[in-house]
Amino acid sequence: MITSTRQQLAGLFRTFLEYESVVDQSTSLAAYECDGLSAYRQTPLMVVLPKTIEEVQKIVIICADRNIPIVSRGAGTSLSGGALPHAEGIVLSLSKMNRILNIDDNAQSITVEPGIRNLAVSEAVKHLGLYYAPDPSSQIACSIGGNVAENAGGVHCLKYGLTLHNVLSVTIVTASGELLVLDQQSLQSQGYDLLALVIGSEGMLGIVVEVILKLLPIPQCARVILAVFDDVEKAGNSVASIISGGIIPAGIEMMDNPAIRAAESFVNAGYPIDSAAILICELDGTEAEVESQISKVDRILKDSGAIDTRLAKDDAERHLFWSGRKAAFPAVGRLSPDYYCIDGTIPRKALGAVLTEINRLSEEYELRIANVFHAGDGNLHPLILYDANDEGAFAKTEALGSRILQLCIHHGGTITGEHGVGVEKLGEMCVQFSDIERHQFHAIRSAFDPTNIMNPGKAIPTLARCAEFNAMHVHNGELPHPELDRF
């Protein structure tokens, strides 16, 4: 049945797509069976790679007529299974739609197709003294369309915001194949803010085919302070002290000892490998602003328990300090056969307490954890190290990950900061949101996609899924944090 359906669809798609833009051979489909969350895999029915908006519309109309699921995919760097294929559906890859359509240096904006790489945007406007602020660690590879789908952040999101705060307009193809332009460029825009609704919707409300991004002037001056701590909790608490001191850095990143050691052996950034934690704090603005803030931040860090602070002597050393942080994920991959990246967010004031509890959970589950995260906005990225070849290892790792995410909820946080829900955090959605709230999520989705063909099975759990999660995770009638029981 699947083979027959695949052949029929391939014939239809090849009437308007180039032959090689329809991938229907099993050996080639294997390349699309997962995204950055490789623990979950599924071979799609087929992959199509359109080059134009019109081709996307035709693909969607064919699938809508036959009720065939569509999973849109950018660069495949998602870490939550957001681009995991559907066994009976197609993967609609936007990698060939990677052009810059317009640069307006007067309005400080750029219009791009969804497949363009994040870093390529800043590279294209650097000569104009402009750049695109959101900078995920995967920015060398991740696509703008994927950034929109997941509301990606980055090391500089504390001061300059997430994707949501840097997008002026998004054009999507709806589940019926129509074009919908969501534009909030006017300060007098009326009606519901549908643009904010679509950003972060993980491909469930439509397929992003064009984006207008806000550009910013490259700061006149940027300096980095690296602070060294002998205690993780002190490092975490110092972040809140900096913000409460009236200073909003361009970014504050934190790494604990396992992450420090991994990154240092990988890129030789000059990190102190015996320290319990380091903070990387970047300040930008005018020369006068930065100089004033450097002395204030240095004093706050030392008052908070930093045993040493280092000011990058020039731009080369500033980039070197950042290079270790940017390479932390691949660097940690050298410590263990596999690792599982958690993404949760907590209030800054809870950083110290949460890090202490994560260390305790690491000991309880007998699994090593390396912590790398955006400390300024409380976005944690604990990396749980495990070996998938050991029977039951991944299940144990998932259980620990769930405990960490529920810990985030317990402290007033949320289960995702920038990676999205995908298939990874469906269970934890049952803890964070009530039945009424999840019902409303489904109602909004149905308004855009009444037949549920756009990325089905992602982000919003069904009542049955929540009942299953409840049965598996409740012990002696209680959740790990009983005060959060909202089933």
Please report which confidence band the pLDDT of residue 477 belongs to, taking 50, 70 and 90 as the band edges. very low
Mean pLDDT of 340-346: 94
Residue 205: pLDDT over 50: yes
pLDDT of residue 37: 87
Topology at the third CATH level for domain 336-484: Alpha-Beta Plaits (3.30.70)
Q: Which of 54-68, 186-200, 232-246, 351-365 has the lowest mean pLDDT?
A: 186-200
> What pLDDT score was predicted for residue 329?
87
Asked if residue 167 lies in contact with residue 148, where contact means CB atoms within 8 angstroms, the answer is: yes
Contacts of 83 (CB under 8 A, 6+ apart): 35, 71, 72, 73, 74, 76, 91, 146, 203
The CATH number assigned to the domain with range 100-217 reads 3.30.465.10
User: Residue 12, Cβ neighbours under 10 Å: how many?
Assistant: 17
Q: Is the pLDDT of residue 218 over 80?
A: yes
Q: Is 336-484 in the same CATH topology as 221-331?
A: yes
Closest-CA residue to 455 (of 173, 144, 82)? 82
The domain 221-331 is placed in CATH, from the list 3.30.70.2190, 3.40.50.1220, 3.40.50.2300, 2.60.40.60, at 3.30.70.2190
Is the separation of the CB atoms in 149 and 203 below 8 Å?
Answer: yes
Provide mean pLDDT across the span 391-417: 95
CA atoms within 13 A on the CB side of 395: 5
Q: Which of 423, 422, 380 is nearest to 405 (CA)?
A: 380
**pLDDT of res. 469:** 86
Q: What CATH number labels 2-93?
A: 3.30.43.10
Measured in whole angstroms, the distance separating CA 53 from the mean position of its chain's CA atoms is 25
Residue 167 pLDDT: 97
Rounded to 5 degrees, what are φ and ψ at 392? 80, 0
140-196 pLDDT, tens per residue?
999 999 999 999 998 899 999 999 999 999 999 999 999 999 987 666 667 889 999
| pLDDT > 90: percent of the chain | 83
Domain boundaries, the chain: 2-93, 100-217, 221-331, 336-484
Mean pLDDT of 5-31: 94
Residues 454-459, mean pLDDT to the nearest whole number: 96
Nearest one of 244, 271, 245, 241 to 258, comparing CA atoms: 271
Q: Which residues pair with 224 in a beta bridge?
A: 282
Range scoring the smallest mean pLDDT among 217-231, 331-345, 407-421, 460-474: 460-474
3-state secondary structure the chain: CHHHHHHHHHHHHCCCCCHHHEECCHHHHHHHCCCCCCCCCCCCCEEECCCCHHHHHHHHHHHHHHCCCEEEECCCCCCCCCCCCCCCCEEEECCCCCCEEEEECCCCEEEECCCCEHHHHHHHHHHHCEECCCCCCCCCCCEHHHHHHHCCCCCCHHHHCCHHHHEEEEEEECCCCCEEEEECCCCCCCCCCHHHHHCCCCCCCCEEEEEEEECEECCCEEEEEEEEECCHHHHHHHHHHHHHCCCCCCEEEEEEHHHHHHHHHHHCCCCCCCCCEEEEEEEEECHHHHHHHHHHHHHHHHHCCCCEEEECCCHHHHHHHHHHHHCHHHHHCCCCCEEEECCEECCHHHHHHHHHHHHHHHHHHCCCEEEEEEHHHCEECEEEEECCCCCCHHHHHHHHHHHHHHHHHHCCCECCCCCCCCCCCHHHHHHHCCHHHHHHHHHHHHHHCCCCCECCCCCCCCHHHHHHHHHHHCECCECCCHHHCCC
The answer on pLDDT for 486 being more than 70 is: no
- Structure confidence at residue 373 as a pLDDT band (50, 70, 90): confident
Tell me how far apart the alpha carbons of residues 306 and 451 are, in angstroms, rounded to a whole number.
56
Please, which pLDDT band fits residue 487 given cuts at 50, 70 and 90? very low
The pTM assigned to this predicted structure is 0.92
pLDDT tens sequence across 311-326: 999 999 999 999 999 8
